[in-house]
Amino acid sequence: MWVLGQVLEGEMLRSWRDRVSDVERNGWYWEYKLVGLNIDSVTVSDDGRRATVEATLQEAARLVDTKNSEHNDSYRTTYTTRYELRYGTNGWRITGGAVLRT
């Protein structure tokens, strides 16, 4: 299991930590499964310290409500996303991203 701080930093890390806090506060949790991945493009900056990656992902997720199972939900979807990455002392980290199309 990945720890958020091992792959994210900056605004992306803050955003995901906020999401985690919200669902924990309600007694929920999400289980995500990467079903498929295609890297569509990678653009690296001239200095080699930043990159933009566009990828198409197939994802399955399940929401579990530990207090009320009637709220449990799940989905499976395919979408294209763009990630902004930065290389630092701890390697590559995702600093931003956006869903481009679903």
Give the pLDDT confidence of 14-71 residue by residue, as tens digits. 999 999 899 889 899 999 999 999 999 999 999 999 999 999 999 999 999 998 999 9
Q: Residue 1 — pLDDT band, cuts 50, 70, 90?
A: low
The answer to whether residue 63 sits within a structural domain is: no
Distance CA 2, CA 65 (A): 22
Distance in angstroms (rounded) separating the CA atoms of residues 51 and 95:
10
Residue 16 per-residue DSSP state = H
Q: In the prediction, which pLDDT does 101 show?
A: 86
Query: If pLDDT is split at 50, 70 and 90, which confidence band does 73 have?
Result: very high
Total structural domains within the chain: 1
Q: By residue range, what is the domain housing residue 96?
A: 4-28+36-56+78-101
Q: What is the pTM of this model?
A: 0.84
Contact of 101 with 79, CB cutoff 8 Å: yes
Q: Is 92 helix (H, G, I), strand (E, B) or coil?
A: strand
Q: Where are the beta strands (DSSP E) in the chain?
A: 28-44, 50-65, 73-88, 91-101
